[in-house]
Amino acid sequence: MRPRSPRKTARLAVFAAAAAVAVGLLQGSPALAAVLSNGGGSGLQLPAPLPSAAPVDPAAAPTPTGAAIAGLALAQLGRGMNGPNTVDGRDFLDSSALPGAWCAEFAGWAWGSAGVPLGGLNGWAGSFLSYGAAHGSYHASGPRVGDAALFALSPGVATAAATGRLGRVQSIAHVGIVAQVSATTVTVVNGDWGDGAGGPKLVRLSTYRLDASGAGTYAPGMRQYIAGYVTPAGL
């Protein structure tokens, strides 16, 4: 067996560390509880969504990849567009698709840093919808830790995404990372997210109810409509 390269070994170490951190956070650590208390292209036709949401068992442990994605995302809380991120000290904005808008860049960074291939993703939140269509991993409900959560500014766009009738994926307004699914709530880590009071756009948490987490539902904690979820290929 060939020895691993130093670069690959380092990457695996980051992955393992992120997964370990996430498992602790996602299993009700006081640190996360304290934070929570403070509380592409166009015209792509999507496959039909899951006929009924696969029930999410809040007690089920996330997959290693999902845990690593969540751990990496949570570790960036409070950081801005220029980071520095906790992996290599760089920023989150690596493309010029939407200068100054970096929610998709952040979500892609979290996936990529956990070892998920990013083919087809770019600076548009809607590119995650295209990714979900290409990999058959879009689902209208049943969020899972590590998923990209998609949001829209209108119920029409959210419903169109869920039914495969969205004409322009650029109509998706925002994407975040599902970091926790509890018995009652879904927690999302968002890049490029304000505090609703004019504060700077940073990496911030938002939550909404698990029993109202399907596409087309308004999420007060997000101030937008849920447009579904995309699971990384192979998760």
Express each pLDDT in 40-66 by its tens digit.
333 444 445 444 445 677 767 889 999
Category of 4 on φ-ψ map: left (φ > 0), alpha (ψ -120 to 50) or beta? beta
Distance CA 24, CA 30 (A): 9
Q: C-alpha angle 143/175/62, rounded to 5°?
A: 35
What pLDDT is stored for residue 55 in this prediction?
A: 61
Is 30 a residue whose pLDDT tops 80?
A: no
Residue among 5, 203, 192, 204 nearest 102 (CA): 192
**What average pLDDT does the segment 120-124 reach?**
89
Give the closest residue to 56 by CA, choosing from 26, 76, 21: 26
- On average, the pLDDT of the chain sits at 80
Quickly state the pLDDT bin for 1 (edges 50, 70, 90): very low
Confidence (pLDDT) at 192: 94
**Among 8-22, 58-72, 204-218, which range has the highest average pLDDT?**
204-218
Can you give the pLDDT at residue 88? 92
Mean pLDDT throughout 102-125?
A: 93
